[in-house]
Amino acid sequence: MTTTPKKNPTVRAEPAASGAAGDGRRWAVLAICCVAAALLGIDNSVLNYAIPSLSRQLNPSSTQLLWIVDVYGLVLGGLLIVAGNLGDRIGRKKLLLMGVAGFGAASALTAYADSPAMLIAARALLGLAGATIMPSTLSLVRAAFTDPKERTTAIGVSSGVGAASFALGPVVGGLLLDHFWWGSVFLINVPVMALVLAAGAWILPESRNPRPGRLDWVSVPLSVVGMFGIVYAIKTAARNGVDDRTAWLTAAIGVAAMVAFLRRQTKVAEPLLELRLFRNPAFSGAIASNVVTMFTSSTLSLGCSLYFQVVRGWSPLTAGLALLPGPLSAAFAAPVSALLIPRIGRARTVALGLTLMAVSTAGIGTVTPHTSYWQLLPLIVVNGVGVIFTFAVTSDSILASVPMTRTGAAAAISETAMELGGALGIAILGSVLSAFYRSDLRLPGGLTADQTAAARESVTGGVQTGAGLPGTVGHTVIDAARVAFTDGFQPTMLIAGSLMLAGAVAALISLRNVPAVLDGQGQE
């Protein structure tokens, strides 16, 4: 049954006030949500550049350092489904403002952390706040734009800004770390979030499910334990290898909890995760395309970062600037994707995006230690355009194919799928890249067992090992590590490109009957 309450001013099954043509308010809603989402993207990528500085000051153990890096993503991924459903119940504006306030406070705690334990706790709070912000921004944009064409453009712009924000992390981090202490990369969030909080309280409309039913409190811990265990297992396996006992144990716990969670969702009256949504080809096809995109592009992003910083020896700021044209092109290409949909359809637009990504990814994989940046620049730009052609259409399809009352839950499913896709990509394709590197590495004789092991661990280890060796031997080790990485990068990116092409074919099939114009009503 479709619910379209018209008398409750806080319910916007199909909002009128915020979405009225010509009032301009909906574009202010988009701007606020984009800024909030952008800060999450920047924060997610900036930490890696602050690690050397904070490690010198706080002196964390190796285990503590891993938790500093991982806890944000673990908490965020584990709570997305719960947070999305909570927004549908208490109001997406309310949840977003709570998350923004929490994110600002946690950023201040992170910036002034004086111990590893305090930093880990603050990063966990950042993950908690981020989990409330991510699905809320998408669902509020969805509620503000009722015209299908405007909605597609708005969601495309939001996706483009989100993509650009990840590349802005190294740039922002590099600029701040050149002049201030490591905490500055987090402290900058505070004034921005304060502005978002003030503007959001004034401008954002409220949006919620008028009849949400009771929250199933049994499903909540099952969802959190399941997602936390699976994501932690993936990250641990990527770091320590697939034979790591901790990874297998946490994977078993996570899978068991998730199986119990999914079984329960088929029995309760008000499930946290409505499995029937996956019967809709627009929803399930778009989710699958997002997973493929994140699975492959996450490894490309990691590989390019290693290439520019370790193989080429560029600073984090220079590497960030080198990669920035891709996400920036994504932001500018967002309106183009909205124009393509009525002309060639959603399936072909997504397939075009994945094909552009496949071709550019394979091309980037052909780098050598001395490839000119100007040869890579067009490929980086094309890749950014492909990303947004995919994400703009899939995000719009996901949100427009479900009832307005469930957009928070749908956005959470989308974000969760992307988190899992990215983590799996790093774990699997990252391991493939490491295997190619080790098989292609040709070290000179005379190295100790420890030096050989360190050099074979990764290209970073190879370059650092060579830097610690004298004269010609050191240069030979460094050159060998760089050549082995680029030699292994090519087949890995060919695999990634092939998966993207397979995803393009799958999108043509799964989305072929999805209309170019989705009215956004969904089915209850």
pLDDT digits (tens, 9 = 90+) for 456-480: 888 888 888 888 888 888 889 899 9
Residue found under tokens 């190879």: 462
Q: How far apart are CA 206 and CA 194, in angstroms?
A: 19
Q: What pLDDT shows up at residue 519?
A: 56
Q: Which of 31-40, 142-151, 364-373, 391-400 has the highest mean predicted lDDT (pLDDT)?
A: 364-373
Q: What pLDDT shows up at residue 19?
A: 39
Query: Do residues 169 and 41 make contact, with C-beta atoms less than 8 angstroms apart?
Result: yes
> What is the residue-averaged pLDDT of the chain?
82
What tokens were used for 506?
């799958």
Query: Do residues 341 and 152 make contact, with C-beta atoms less than 8 angstroms apart?
Result: yes
**pLDDT of 9 over the 60 cut:** no
| pLDDT mean over 360-377 | 92
Share of the chain above pLDDT 90, in %: 18
From the list 46, 81, 98, 86, the residue with the least C-alpha distance to 224 is 81
Q: What pLDDT shows up at residue 212?
A: 64
Q: How far apart are CA 296 and CA 301, in angstroms?
A: 9
Lowest mean pLDDT among 84-93, 182-191, 259-268: 84-93
Q: What pLDDT shows up at residue 520?
A: 52
Q: Let me know if 361 is exposed, middle or buried by CB neighbors in 10 A (0-12, 13-18, 19+).
A: buried
Question: DSSP character for 10?
Answer: T
CA of residue 521 relative to chain centroid, distance: 27
Domain 19-206, CATH among 1.10.540.10, 1.10.580.10, 1.20.1250.20, 3.40.50.300: 1.20.1250.20
| Residue 97 banded pLDDT, cuts 50, 70, 90 | very high
| pLDDT mean over 47-68 | 77
| Residue 5 banded pLDDT, cuts 50, 70, 90 | very low
Lowest mean pLDDT among 52-66, 294-308, 440-454: 52-66
Lowest mean pLDDT among 84-88, 453-457, 459-463: 84-88
**pLDDT of 133 over the 50 cut:** yes
How many other C-beta atoms lie within 10 A of the C-beta of residue 17? Answer: 12
**pLDDT of 116 over the 80 cut:** yes
**pLDDT of 293 over the 90 cut:** no
Q: What pLDDT shows up at residue 359?
A: 95
Q: What is the pLDDT of residues 374-431, one digit of tens each?
A: 999 999 999 989 988 888 888 888 877 777 667 777 777 888 888 778 878 877 888 8
Q: Is the pTM of this model over 0.85?
A: no
| Residue 373 banded pLDDT, cuts 50, 70, 90 | very high
Q: What pLDDT shows up at residue 387?
A: 87
Report how far apart the first and last C-alpha atoms of the chain are (Å, whole number): 5
From the list 180, 174, 168, 166, the residue with the least C-alpha distance to 316 is 174
From the list 239, 234, 206, 167, the residue with the least C-alpha distance to 384 is 167
**pLDDT of 445 over the 50 cut:** yes
| Residue 104 banded pLDDT, cuts 50, 70, 90 | very high
Fold of 282-514: Growth Hormone; Chain: A; (1.20.1250)
| pLDDT mean over 342-353 | 88
